[in-house]
């Protein structure tokens, strides 16, 4: 089923890009592999999905020895006591949701002689149960984080509201894209070019609003048990 699902996803990405005047090559699919066994993850990697995402570090570390070469994106809430491990295996951390966490990543990465790509998570929905910087504080956070050693701030991430009609969340994606553009121009940050937004139920809307990285689990692997 994976090849068929992937073919359908790529068709939908192409259509969304065409409607927005974008190239499908500008979109990175992150295969969200939570609860997915290593052999199935390897099928995805062999199909070209070399960017995989997990929100639980321990689950990823259990599977990692059995996986084909890939790039690992940490996409879940990150506790500071897990930073030391994450920085040694992650290509990018999408979910930096506080200055305290950014400083800890900087300290640990510097100590390990590494430079790690990170994104700041923004709570565009305003839901109190979600992590992330409030929209009003994003620009000030960026100004501090870009000065920290050991990290490279690449852009912003959000998790949109879970709703039946994906059109409802378009303003949330549009808000994040607006922040990314204005911050990049005002602070003159040419590498601040990543927008991680859009999941199975809303990735086409996210692409139309500027997403560069979409995080897909159910669309690729089916409903989780």
Spatial distance between the Cα atoms of 33 and 181, rounded to a whole number of angstroms: 30
Mean local confidence (pLDDT), 77-97: 97
Cβ–Cβ under 8 Å, residues 195 and 177? yes
Q: What percent of the chain is modeled with pLDDT above 90?
A: 94
Report whether pLDDT(37) > 90: yes
pLDDT at 40 over 70: yes
Paired tokens of 184: 């990049």
Taking 70 as the threshold, does the pLDDT of residue 214 lie above it? yes
Q: Find the range with the poorest average confidence among 49-63, 87-101, 110-124, 161-175.
A: 161-175
Is residue 190's pLDDT more than 70?
A: yes
Long-range own/partner contacts, residues 51-57 (CB < 8 A, 24 or more apart): 51/91, 51/213, 53/94, 53/215, 55/95, 57/82, 57/85, 57/86
Beta carbons of 40 and 59 less than 8 angstroms apart = no
> Residue 162's pLDDT is what?
87
Mean pLDDT of 124-129: 89
Question: What is residue 19's predicted lDDT score, i.e. its pLDDT?
Answer: 96
User: What is the bridge-based pairing of β-strands 71-74 and 92-96?
Assistant: parallel
Res 94: pLDDT: 98
Per-residue model confidence as pLDDT tens digits over 2-28? 999 999 999 999 999 999 999 999 999
Q: What is the DSSP letter of 17?
A: H
Q: What is the pLDDT of residues 128-144, one digit of tens each?
A: 889 999 999 999 999 99
Contacts of residue 30, defined as CB under 8 A and 6 or more positions apart, other chains included, come to: 51, 52, 53, 73, 75, 196, 213, 214, 215, 216
Of the pLDDT bands very low, low, confident and very high (cuts 50, 70, 90), residue 225 is low
36-46 mean pLDDT = 97
pLDDT in tens, 51-73: 999 999 999 999 999 999 999 99
What residues make up the domain containing 171? 2-221
pLDDT for 34: 95
- Percent of all residues in the chain with a pLDDT value above 70, rounded to a whole number: 100
pLDDT (average), residues 99-115: 97
The predicted-structure confidence for 147-188, as pLDDT tens digits, reads as follows 999 999 999 999 999 888 989 999 999 999 999 999 999 999
Q: For the chain, what is the domain count?
A: 1
Q: Coil, strand or helix: which one is 216?
A: strand
Q: State the CATH number of the domain containing residue 175.
A: 3.20.20.10
Strand 28-32 relative to strand 51-54, pairing: parallel
pLDDT at 126: 87
């Amino acid at each position: 089923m994976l090849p068929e699902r992937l073919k359908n996803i790529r068709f939908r990405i192409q259509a969304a890009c065409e409607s927005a005047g974008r190239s499908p090559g500008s979109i990175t699919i992150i295969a969200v592999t939570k609860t997915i066994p290593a052999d199935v993850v390897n099928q995805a990697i062999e199909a070209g999905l070399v960017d995989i995402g997990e929100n639980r570090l321990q689950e990823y570390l259990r599977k990692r020895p059995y996986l084909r070469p890939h790039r690992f994106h940490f996409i879940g809430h990150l506790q500071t006591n897990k930073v030391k491990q994450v920085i040694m295996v992650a290509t990018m951390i999408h979910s930096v949701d506080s200055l305290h966490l950014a400083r800890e990543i900087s300290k640990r990465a510097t100590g390990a002689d590494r430079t790690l790509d990170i994104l700041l998570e923004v709570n565009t929905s305003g839901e109190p149960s979600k992590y992330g910087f409030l929209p009003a504080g994003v620009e000030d956070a960026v100004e501090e984080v870009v000065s920290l050693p050991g990290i490279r701030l690449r852009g912003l991430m959000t998790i949109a509201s879970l709703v039946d009609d994906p059109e409802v969340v378009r303003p949330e994606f549009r808000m994040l894209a607006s922040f990314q553009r204005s911050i990049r121009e005002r602070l003159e940050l040419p590498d601040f070019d990543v927008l991680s937004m859009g999941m199975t139920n809303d990735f086409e809307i996210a692409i139309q609003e500027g997403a560069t990285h979409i995080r897909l689990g159910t669309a690729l692997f089916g409903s989780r048990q």
